Amino acid sequence: MGKNSTDNYLRKDDNLRVRPGSKVNLKDFDTRYSADFKSKEDALDMLKQDIERLSELQDMLFAMNKYGLLIVFQAMDAAGKDGTIKHVMSGVNPQGCEVTSFKQPSVEELEHDFLWRINKALPKRGTISIFNRSHYEEVLVTRVHPEYILGQNIPGIDSVDKIDKSFWKARFRAINDFERQISENGTVILKFFLNVSKKEQKERFLARIDEPEKNWKFSAGDVKERLLWDKYMEAFEDALGNTSTEYAPWFIIPADKKWFMRAAVGDIIVGTLEQMNLSYPKLTEKAKAEIQDAKTLILNEDK
């Protein structure tokens, strides 16, 4: 499959993008889907081209200093978030990119609303921020473990019984309003759910156990969460369906084939940046004249 920098077709692939207002059933999304690639090599070739183009586009994004790009990754354990970030962003200038991993909230963070810590990590204009897990943990992990909500001291929520459908509906609304607000102020948002199958996750867990160099990746807690797989799938379906919008779309990326997952994510990021019409700032005639004067001074230094 050949492509050029404007061919980013995966951004429009209906097998990947969650349409706003749609009801999501993850069983309808094939975790081994690989579009129309003829081979793994074709996908790797496209990823290589996209990494090169991403480097060019990041440079223009930084120079233009008008937009920020927020990339959100959510997934079950062992889906490949870390590896995808490492491979796709390998050509990015670290000075203009920051990765934040949101783990269990700290005592200070629990003293604020659930979006407070997210605000602090948003991208500055001209930069890229990557969230390895995000504010969506507050409608995923807490949906499966509602007892975690009680530690947030929310008025009126003093028992798990109070955490009903209206509570989650309000959280989805808060997330959508938050993402709309930052979008209207120059933050372009992309959200990726890396959709790994339960069978593939099992194989990756076993590899982490059997291969000593991967032991550090394994956590017994991950296996306990695996037992709640169906509950997590229900939580993801509800979150994806309620929070995929035109200004902050969700993409469900098949994750069983790592080579396709990385190629798809890279292509969608590049395609989105291409649509932003990025460019280098145009200098005024006065600025151009000053540059020429500076050049003359440099050339005359040794005369």
This prediction's pTM: 0.92
What are the residue ranges of helices labelled H in 79-219? 81-88, 107-110, 116-119, 141-144, 165-184, 198-210
With cut-offs at 50, 70 and 90, classify the pLDDT of residue 115. Answer: very high
**Cβ-contact 217, 208 below 8 angstroms:** yes
d(CA 250, CA 26): 13
**In angstroms, how far is CA 194 from the centroid of its own chain?**
10
pLDDT, greater one: 212 or 127: 127
With bands split at pLDDT 50, 70 and 90, how would you rate the model's confidence at 4?
very low
User: Which amino acid does the sequence have at 61?
Assistant: L
246: Cβ contacts below 8 Å, ≥ 6 apart: 20
CB within 8 Å of 302: residues ≥ 6 apart: none
| Cβ atoms within 10 Å of 180's Cβ, excluding its own | 15
Coil, helix or strand for 254? strand
User: Rounded to whole angstroms, how far apart are CA atoms 170 and 113?
Assistant: 13
Report pLDDT for 7.
57
Report the mean per-residue pLDDT for the chain.
Answer: 93
Contacts of 156 (CB under 8 A, 6+ apart): 162
Count of residues in the chain: 303
- Sign, CA dihedral 110-112-114-116, equals negative
The whole-number pLDDT of residue 217 equals: 80
Token duo for residue 191 = 């959200």
What pLDDT is recorded for position 3? 47
Amino acid sitting at position 296: T
In angstroms, how far is CA 180 from the centroid of its own chain? 16
30-34, 66-70, 208-212: which range is least confident on average?
208-212
Q: Which helix (H) or strand (E) holds 234?
A: helix 229-243
Domain boundaries, given as residue ranges, for the chain: 9-299
What is the rounded CA–CA span in Å between residue 279 and residue 65?
10
For 204-242, the pLDDT digits (tens) are 999 999 988 888 888 888 889 999 999 999 999 999 999
Q: What is the pLDDT of residue 135?
A: 98
| Distances 208 to 79, 86, 142, 221, 270 between C-alpha atoms, Å | 13, 19, 26, 14, 32
Residue-level pLDDT at 2: 41
pLDDT attached to residue 208: 92
In tens, the pLDDT along 182-194 reads 999 999 999 999 9
Q: Is the pLDDT of residue 5 over 60?
A: no
Tell me how far apart the alpha carbons of residues 252 and 260 are, in angstroms, rounded to a whole number.
12
Task: In whole angstroms, give the CA distance from residue 30 to residue 59.
Answer: 35
| Secondary element (H or E) of residue 41 | helix 40-64
CATH number of 9-299: 3.40.50.300
pLDDT > 90? residue 173: yes
Rounded to an integer, what distance in angstroms lies between the CA atom of residue 106 and that of residue 116? 12
3-class SS shares of the chain: helix, strand, coil, % to 5: 55, 10, 35
Query: How far, in Å, are 4, 219, 254 from residue 204 at the CA level?
Result: 34, 12, 15
Q: Give the Cα separation of 208 and 78 in Å (integer).
A: 9
What is the distance between the alpha carbons of residues 194 and 31, in angstroms, rounded to a whole number? 9
Q: What is the DSSP letter of 156?
A: T
